[in-house]
Amino acid sequence: MMLTTRMSRILAAALAYTLAIMPARAQDPAEAPPEPIQALFTKYCLSCHQGEKSEGGVDLVKLMAKGPPASNRKPWNRVKENVEGGTMPPEDHPQPPEDLVNALASWVDAEMKKLDCGVAVDPGRVTIRRLNRAEYNNTIRDLTGVDFEPAEDFPSDDVGYGFDNIGDVLSLPPILMEKYLAAAETIAARAIVAGGASTLPTKTYEGPDLDDSGGVSAQDDGRLLGTNGEIVVAHAFPRDASYVVRVRAFAQQAGDAPARMAVKIDGKPLRSFDVKAVEGQPGTYEVEQKLRGGRRRIAAEFLNDYWEPGNPDPAKRDRNLIVQSIEIEGPQDVAGAPLPPSHKLVVFRTPTKPEEFFDATTEVLERFLRRAYRRPVTGGEVAKLVRLAELARENGESYEQGIQLAVQAVLASPQFLFRVELYRPKRDAKGKPIASPGGTPLNDFEVASRLSYFLWSSMPDDELSKLALDGKLHDEAVLEEQVRRMIRDPKSQAFVENFAGQWLQLRNLKSVNPDPEQFKTFDEPLREAMQKESELFFASVLRDGRSLLDFIDCDYTFLNERLADHYGVPGVKGPEFRKVKLEGGERGGLITQASVLTVTSNPSRTSPVKRGKWVLEQILGTPPPPAPPEVPQLADDSNGPLVGTLRQRMEQHRSNPSCASCHARLDPPGFGLENYDAVGAWRDKDGGLPIDASAQLPSGESFQGPAELKKILKGRKAEFVRCLGEKMLTYALGRGLEDPDACTVEDLVKTVSADQYRLSRMVLEIVKSDPFLKRGG
C-alpha cells in the first residue's frame, strides 16, 4: 500500500540529502530531477529501489547521482518505459497519478534531446575483432579461391548485443587456435597443387567426428548400426577431381550371409561390399570416384540387418555393422591435368630456372600477404615468408610446397585472424598524444575492411583495395558509389544471412522442431522455404531501394509452391521462388511470415509471450525486463491446471500479480498473432474454440487481429527506424552502442525518414557516420 506520511517524509529527507552530496556536476539544479519527479520516486518507488537490496538491481538514488538522462540514456529510458507502460510500480502497489507519470515521461524525453550533437562526439573504440566463423569462411574463399567452409569445425562464436561479430565476446580459446593451425594446413593443401608432394591431402572422420553421424556409440570408438541405416559425414571437396573414399569397418555376423555395406555420395550408391571383417580385425573398403567440388554427404549404409532372437547360439542371433572411420583422400591430381583456379590465384608465377626463385617467391608472397593482412606490408614481413619457402627448398621440397608452408604461416597469424585497427593520435613536439575529442580517422585500408566485413562478411576486393591505396575512401561520393556497388554484388547475401539472420532470429529456425503429431505438414522443404522467403524479402527491400516500413506491412512476398500451399495462396506452381502479390490482410510484412512465427513458438503450441517479446525487441526496440525466476511456466498443452484456449489459459496465468505487470506489455502483440499456429499457418480456432486476436497495448491503442496490429506498428515509424538503426549500427561497428552514439542514431532517423524510409539509405548513412569512419582512444 501507499507509504505512510511519516515514511514518505523520511524518504524525502534521505533523497534530499543524497542529492545534496552528489558530485558537483549533478548538483546543478538544471540537471537534478524536478520536484514532481522526486515526489513520484519518494512516494511510489524508493521503498523498493534504493540501497544494496534494490529490487531488480535498480537503485534510483544512484541513478540520479550518475547524472541526467542525456548522459545516462539507457537506464533512464528503461525507468520511463516501465512507469509509462504501467509495468512499475507493480499492480499490487499504489499507482502514481497520471500527471506525475506524464511529468516523468516529458522530463526524460526533453532531457534526452539535450545531448549536444553539435560538438565533437567521441566515436567510440572497438575491441580488436577476431574473424568469426562466417567471416573466416568467406575470407578464405576470396583469398584462396577455395570454397569449402573450413570454419564448420570451429567452436561456435559467442554472441553479444544480438550479434556474433562483437569484439568484446570474440575470444580465442586454445582449442580454436588448434583448429586454426589444422585449417591452415588443409587450406594450403587444397588451394595449391604441390608438385613433388609425397602424400595426398587426406581427411579422416573418426572418434568425436562421428558423434552425430548416425548409429550408436561402439566400444571401440566407432559407430554401431543395429538396424539398416547409415553413418553419414559431410565433406567439402575442394574441386572437381578424383577422390578415394575409404571406410574402415567390421561386422558382428549372424545368419547365412555376411554383412553388406554400400558406400554412397549424396544418396547415390558407388559400390557395395561384403563386410567379412570381424571385431579386432577391421577391414578397409575403398572406392575411387571422380567427383564435383563442393560440400557432399558421404555415407556407409548397412544393407542387410538380421535378427533371430530364438537362435540357440547367442553369437548368431544379431547381425550388426560397426564403422570405425571414413577417410577421403584427394584430390588425386594427375600429371598434365589443368591447375585449379585456386592455384592460379595464389601461385600466379612459377620460376622456370633456379635464379628466378627469389623474385618469383617474393612476388607471389607479397601479393598474398597484402591481401591476407588487408593492408600494405613491409619488406621485412615478406622476407620472413620468403625465408620459410627457402627452408622448404633446402629440405628437398618443391617450389609449391614452399609456398604452401608460407601460406600456412600467414593463415595462423594474428594479422590475418584479427581485424586490426590502430589508434593514431596527433602528437605534440615532445611526442605526447594530443587530445582529440572527436576521435581520429581510420586509415583507408581500415575503412575498406569495415566496409567489406559490414556488407560482405569478407575481405576487401581489388576495387576497394585500389581505392584505399589511392586514399579515396573518405570521400563521401566514393563511399556512396561503393556501397551501392557492394549491395548489388552477390556477396551481399552475407549481409542478408548474417545481419538479417540474427536480427530476425532466422538462424534459430534450423533448430526448431515442431511436434510432428500436431504439425504433420512440417518438413525440411517447408523449413527451407520459410527461411528463403524471409531472406529474399529482406534482400529485395535492400537492393530494390524499398522502404524499410515494408518490414512491418506490405502487399507482396516471395513464395514457391510449397510455401504458397502452406499459406493458402493459390496460383503458385513449382519449386522456384517468385514475387507474389498478396490479397487481404492475413499476410504481409515480417511478423506474418512463417519463419518468424515458427521461431517464436513452442514445439506444440504458439507462444504469445515469445511473439510479443519479439515485436518489442526487434520492431519497437523496447525489450521487456527478464521474467522473475519464481514465476511458473505455462504448461505446453491444455492438460494442465488451466483450461480453455491458449489465450484463456494465459489470462488465468496473468491473474498472478507477479506475472501481470510484464505480461501487460508482452501479451498484446502476441495475442494479435494468435490466428497463426506454431508453424505459421492461418487458423480460426484453437482447440475447437474461436480465436480472440484482439488486445489493447499499454498505450491504450486497441486492435482486432494482425492487420490492425500492423497498422498500429507501422504508425510508429520513428521507433522502428530507431530500433533498426541501433541494431544495424551495432552490427556495423562490432560493439555495443554508447551514449554518444545516440547522435548518430538520431541522424539516422532523420535522414532515413527524409528519403522515403529506404533501407539502402540507412546503410549509406551508417557508412558515412563518424563512428564508422573514426575511432576514439
Residue 657 confidence class, pLDDT cut points 50, 70, 90: low
What pLDDT sits at residue 38?
Answer: 87
User: Are 630 and 538 found together in one domain?
Assistant: yes
User: Are 649 and 757 found together in one domain?
Assistant: no
Which of 171-175, 331-335, 343-347, 394-398 is predicted with the least confidence, judged by mean pLDDT? 331-335
What pLDDT sits at residue 761?
Answer: 98
- On whether the CB atoms of residues 150 and 136 are closer than 8 A, the answer is yes
Give the residue-averaged pLDDT of 191-211: 79
Asked if residue 169 is part of any domain, the answer here is no
- On the question of pLDDT at 351 being above 90, the answer is yes
- On whether the CB atoms of residues 498 and 157 are closer than 8 A, the answer is no
DSSP bridge pairs for 229: 302
What pLDDT sits at residue 428?
Answer: 74
Query: Is the pTM value of this prediction over 0.75?
Result: yes
Question: What is the Cα–Cα distance from 86 to 75, expressed in whole angstroms?
Answer: 17
Asked if residue 693 is part of any domain, the answer here is yes
- On the question of pLDDT at 241 being above 80, the answer is yes
Give the residue-averaged pLDDT of 92-103: 85
Question: What is the Cα–Cα distance from 775 to 777, expressed in whole angstroms?
Answer: 7
What pLDDT sits at residue 646?
Answer: 73
Give 127's DSSP letter: -
Closest CA to 651 of 640, 639, 663: 663
What percent of the chain stands above pLDDT 90?
A: 64
What pLDDT sits at residue 445?
Answer: 98
User: Are 678 and 731 found together in one domain?
Assistant: no
Q: What is the pLDDT of residues 102-131, one digit of tens each?
A: 888 888 877 876 766 766 778 888 999 999
- On the question of pLDDT at 312 being above 90, the answer is no
- Looking at 297, 329, 361, the residue that finishes a domain is 329
Which of 361-370, 420-429, 553-562 is predicted with the least confidence, judged by mean pLDDT? 420-429
- On whether the CB atoms of residues 313 and 210 are closer than 8 A, the answer is no
Question: What is the Cα–Cα distance from 759 to 559, expressed in whole angstroms?
Answer: 22
Asked if residue 88 is part of any domain, the answer here is yes
Burial bucket for residue 717 (CB in 10 Å: 0-12, 13-18, 19+)? middle
Question: What is the Cα–Cα distance from 303 to 319, expressed in whole angstroms?
Answer: 11
**What are the grid coordinates assigned to 450, written together?**
569495415
Give the residue-averaged pLDDT of 292-310: 90
CB half-sphere exposure, 608, CA atoms < 13 A: 30
Q: What is the pLDDT of residues 466-509, one digit of tens each?
A: 999 999 999 999 999 999 999 999 999 999 999 999 999 999 99
Question: What is the Cα–Cα distance from 639 to 644, expressed in whole angstroms?
Answer: 10
Question: Torsion over CA of 411, 412, 416 and 421, rounded to 10 degrees?
Answer: 180
Asked if residue 544 is part of any domain, the answer here is yes
What pLDDT sits at residue 19?
Answer: 46
Query: Which amino acid belongs to residue 460?
Result: P
User: Are 758 and 693 found together in one domain?
Assistant: no
- On whether the CB atoms of residues 282 and 250 are closer than 8 A, the answer is yes
What pLDDT sits at residue 5?
Answer: 52
With left for phi above 0 and alpha for psi between -120 and 50, is residue 447 left, alpha or beta? alpha
Asked if residue 449 is part of any domain, the answer here is no
- On whether the CB atoms of residues 444 and 474 are closer than 8 A, the answer is yes
Annotate 312-340 with DSSP letters as a single string.
SSGGGSEEEEEEEEEEEE---PPTTPPPP
Could you identify the residue written with the cell 557492394? Answer: 486
What is the rounded average pLDDT for all residues in the chain?
89
User: Are 360 and 412 found together in one domain?
Assistant: yes
**What are the grid coordinates assigned to 471, written together?**
586514399
User: Are 391 and 415 found together in one domain?
Assistant: yes
**Residues constituting the chain:** 777
Q: What is the pLDDT of residues 586-638, one digit of tens each?
A: 999 999 999 999 999 999 999 999 999 999 999 999 887 666 555 566 555 55
Which of 213-217, 221-225, 532-536 is predicted with the least confidence, judged by mean pLDDT? 213-217
- On whether the CB atoms of residues 461 and 142 are closer than 8 A, the answer is yes
**What are the grid coordinates assigned to 261, written together?**
555395406
Question: What is the Cα–Cα distance from 106 to 482, expressed in whole angstroms?
Answer: 42
CB half-sphere exposure, 84, CA atoms < 13 A: 16
Buried b (16+ CB within 10 A) or exposed e, 195-222: eebeeebeeebbeeebeebbbeebeeeb
Question: What is the Cα–Cα distance from 13 to 23, expressed in whole angstroms?
Answer: 18
What pLDDT sits at residue 20?
Answer: 46
- On the question of pLDDT at 732 being above 70, the answer is yes
- On whether the CB atoms of residues 439 and 776 are closer than 8 A, the answer is yes
User: Are 581 and 690 found together in one domain?
Assistant: yes
Give the residue-averaged pLDDT of 237-264: 92
Give 393's DSSP letter: H
Question: What is the Cα–Cα distance from 537 to 194, expressed in whole angstroms?
Answer: 45
What pLDDT sits at residue 23?
Answer: 44
3-state secondary structure of 776: coil
Burial bucket for residue 591 (CB in 10 Å: 0-12, 13-18, 19+)? buried
Asked if residue 615 is part of any domain, the answer here is yes
Closest CA to 328 of 148, 134, 140: 148
Question: What is the Cα–Cα distance from 502 to 504, expressed in whole angstroms?
Answer: 5
Instruction: Give the angle 650-656-661 at the CA atoms, nearest 5°.
Output: 85
* Residue spans of alpha helices (H) in 154-196: 174-191
3-state secondary structure of 392: helix
**Better-scored residue on pLDDT, 453 or 740:** 453
Closest CA to 260 of 249, 279, 273, 247: 273
**What are the grid coordinates assigned to 264, written together?**
554412397
- On whether the CB atoms of residues 545 and 488 are closer than 8 A, the answer is no
Closest CA to 707 of 694, 717, 720, 698: 694
Phi and psi torsions of 645, nearest 5°: -65, 170
Domain of residue 22 covers 5-112
User: Are 9 and 49 found together in one domain?
Assistant: yes
Annotate 591-602 with DSSP letters as a single string.
GGSHHHHHHTS-
Cα 31 → chain centroid: 40
**Better-scored residue on pLDDT, 279 or 3:** 279
Residue 768, number of CB atoms within 10 A of its CB = 16
Asked if residue 49 is part of any domain, the answer here is yes
Question: What is the Cα–Cα distance from 39 to 20, expressed in whole angstroms?
Answer: 16
- Looking at 112, 139, 159, the residue that finishes a domain is 112
Annotate 491-524 with DSSP letters as a single string.
GGHHHIIIIIHHHTTGGGGGG----TTT-TT--H
Could you identify the residue written with the cell 621485412? Answer: 380
What percent of the chain stands above pLDDT 70?
A: 89
User: Are 530 and 647 found together in one domain?
Assistant: yes
What pLDDT sits at residue 238?
Answer: 72
DSSP bridge pairs for 686: 689
Could you identify the residue written with the cell 570416384? Answer: 289
What pLDDT sits at residue 1?
Answer: 39
With left for phi above 0 and alpha for psi between -120 and 50, is residue 5 left, alpha or beta? alpha
Looking at the 3D structure of the chain, how many domains does it have? 5
| Interstrand relation of 129-130 and 202-206 (parallel, antiparallel or unpaired) | unpaired
Give the residue-averaged pLDDT of 404-433: 89
Asked if residue 471 is part of any domain, the answer here is no
What pLDDT sits at residue 446?
Answer: 98
User: Are 509 and 635 found together in one domain?
Assistant: yes
Buried b (16+ CB within 10 A) or exposed e, 293-302: beebebbbbb
User: Are 223 and 258 found together in one domain?
Assistant: yes
Give the residue-averaged pLDDT of 224-230: 94
Q: What is the pLDDT of residues 507-523, one digit of tens each?
A: 999 999 999 999 999 99
Question: What is the Cα–Cα distance from 54 to 44, expressed in whole angstroms?
Answer: 14
| Distances 657 to 34, 56, 87, 697 between C-alpha atoms, Å | 31, 16, 11, 18
Closest CA to 298 of 216, 209, 217: 209
Instruction: List Cβ neighbours of 99 (8 Å cut-off, separation of 6 or more).
Output: 36
Question: What is the Cα–Cα distance from 584 to 570, expressed in whole angstroms?
Answer: 13
User: Are 321 and 402 found together in one domain?
Assistant: no
What pLDDT sits at residue 639?
Answer: 54
Instruction: List Cβ neighbours of 412 (8 Å cut-off, separation of 6 or more).
Output: 180, 181, 184
3-state secondary structure of 357: helix
To which H or E segment does residue 299 belong? Answer: strand 294-302
Rg of the Cα trace of the chain? 31
- On the question of pLDDT at 694 being above 80, the answer is yes
List, edge to edge, every strand of the sheet that includes 294-302: 229-237, 294-302, 259-265, 268-275
**What are the grid coordinates assigned to 462, written together?**
581489388
Residue 221 confidence class, pLDDT cut points 50, 70, 90: confident
- Looking at 374, 389, 419, the residue that finishes a domain is 419
